Structure 1
Amino acid sequence: MGKNTNSKLILSATPLRRLSQATATAALGFVMLAAIGTDPAQAVNLKTFNISGNFAPAALDGSVGLPVNLANGSFNGTYTVDVDQLAASSSFVDLTSWTVNLVNNNTVLQTLSNRLVGNTAYIQENILAFADAGLLTKQNHNLYSLELYFDRNFTGTGSTNDGKFLDNSDLGSVQSSGITSVTFAKSEPVPEPETYAGTVVVATIGLWLKRKQKA
């Protein structure tokens, strides 16, 4: 590091002493990041979304097992994806994490999650899909998926009445196969922490004003 650079760092140390400890730490962090530099090609813009929806009152004819049990059921969960990739790509964009519960009568019948070996999830244009491809990885004998079809150029926010749960499990002691249609699905961003904080502040101020008026 050159002489001029050392002088700038010495001069900048004086005003930093007047800052609070938290502010000083943050300021120094920005200085370090600027010195190291960042590579735009490696930057990611991860965003988490809530996903929920309902299944049709009955599975398709010929279905047995899980598709039938999910009739009149629902699903809910979250997923995380790099939204910058969604805006710039028409090919598969893998989700970085996800957990989706398939529910009926307040009982979770199946969970699709990145924590389970063989599971995969992606967005391709208007398709959001969560799948257990364990049959392909020889980790289990199941092959099922939840597929939702949104409008074109889907980037994580929207609703649809088009989708299905597809079960093509291997024959075993409990047979399960067939299709259950999705009658409604909604995907929306999880509120940021500051949004929650702002809501609490507004609610607190409103309550205080009401009490003041009564007094």
Structure 2
Amino acid sequence: MLSATPLRRLSQATATAALSFAMLTAIGTDPAKAVNLKTFNILGNFASIALDGSIGLPVNLANGSFNGTYTVDVDQLPASSSFVDLTSWNINLVNDNTVLRTLSNSLAGNTAYIQENILAFSDAGLLTNQNQNLYSLELDFDSNFTGTGITNDGRFLDNSDLGSVQSSGFTAVTFVKTEPVTEPQTLAGTAVIATIGLWLRRKQKV
């Protein structure tokens, strides 16, 4: 039977751990923000053959893949009929370990959004009165999409004629997976809980 002193120490240790975890959680929460931003990892594969008649990038992406991250206010999801803009994103289009193009919020004109069950990354900056170029990665998920999911439905669309570089056509997406990035405070909280478990096991052996 445990004496009063070990029980008191156990209570103090548990309280300290709980307080530490609460402080870690509070650090990751900014009360001034009215949004609930969450970052997701995304990866996927392109089909082995581009649509007949395609040239340039759609052909080069055949048997390729894409990967990256995006951040969105999940409190606005699912997006019903409205557009929910992503706050940041960086998606690499890859083949043979070479990045052929990057879709990123750091590049002027690039846009990204979730609308109903569609997650899209595009370069709308190419659209002008004199230039109707466009490229876009569009991914179709199940209804009520909130950022996490798996799908085999999507496409990379391209219609570009920038100087001597011509690129146009369509490459299908055959697989996509997106899931939340583990937040630092979650990892720290898991470490605290694991430490408590080890401490308790050692005490039980004494």
Q: Please state which band the TM-score falls in when normalised by the shorter chain.
A: 0.7 to 0.9
TM (norm. structure 2) is: 0.73
Is the 8 Å Cα contact of residues 134 and 141 (structure 1) preserved in structure 2?
Answer: no
Distance, in Å, in 1 between the alignment partners of 2:107 and 2:194 is: 41
Counterpart of 2:6 in structure 1 is: none
Structure 2 unaligned blocks of 5 or more:
1-19, 202-206
Counterpart of 1:127 in structure 2 is: 118
Structure 1 SS opposite 2:165: coil
Distance, in Å, in 1 between the alignment partners of 2:162 and 2:85 is: 29
Matching residue's letter, 1:84:
D
1:183 and 2:174 aligned: yes
Distance, in Å, in 2 between the alignment partners of 1:152 and 1:83 is: 15
1:193 and 2:184 aligned: yes
Aligned-pair distance for 1:194?
3.3
Matching residue's letter, 1:129:
A
Q: How does 1:74-85 map to 2 (within 5 A)?
A: 74-85=65-76
Counterpart of 1:153 in structure 2 is: 144
CA offsets 1:91-130 (integer angstroms, 9 cap, x no match): 1000011000000010000000000000000000100000
1:113 and 2:96 aligned: no
Question: Which has the larger share of strand?
Answer: 2
Alignment partner of 1:170 out of 161, 165, 176: 161
Aligned residues: 171
Distance 1:62 1:171, change over 3 A: farther
Is the 8 Å Cα contact of residues 143 and 170 (structure 1) preserved in structure 2?
Answer: no
Is the 8 Å Cα contact of residues 100 and 113 (structure 1) preserved in structure 2?
Answer: yes
Matching residue's letter, 1:98:
W
CA offsets 1:151-184 (integer angstroms, 9 cap, x no match): 0110000000000000011253121000000000
Distance, in Å, in 2 between the alignment partners of 1:177 and 1:88 is: 30
TM (norm. structure 1) is: 0.71
Structure 1 unaligned blocks of 5 or more:
1-22, 210-215
Counterpart of 1:143 in structure 2 is: 134
Question: Which has the larger share of helix?
Answer: 1
Structure 2 SS opposite 1:170: strand
RMSD: 3.1
Percent of counterpart pairs with the same letter? 76
Alignment partner of 1:54 out of 31, 45, 58: 45
Aligned-pair distance for 1:141?
7.2
Matching residue's letter, 1:57:
S
Is the 8 Å Cα contact of residues 156 and 173 (structure 2) preserved in structure 1?
Answer: yes
CA offsets 1:159-215 (integer angstroms, 9 cap, x no match): 000000000112531210000000000111001113434369859x99xx9xxxxxx
Is the 8 Å Cα contact of residues 42 and 176 (structure 2) preserved in structure 1?
Answer: yes
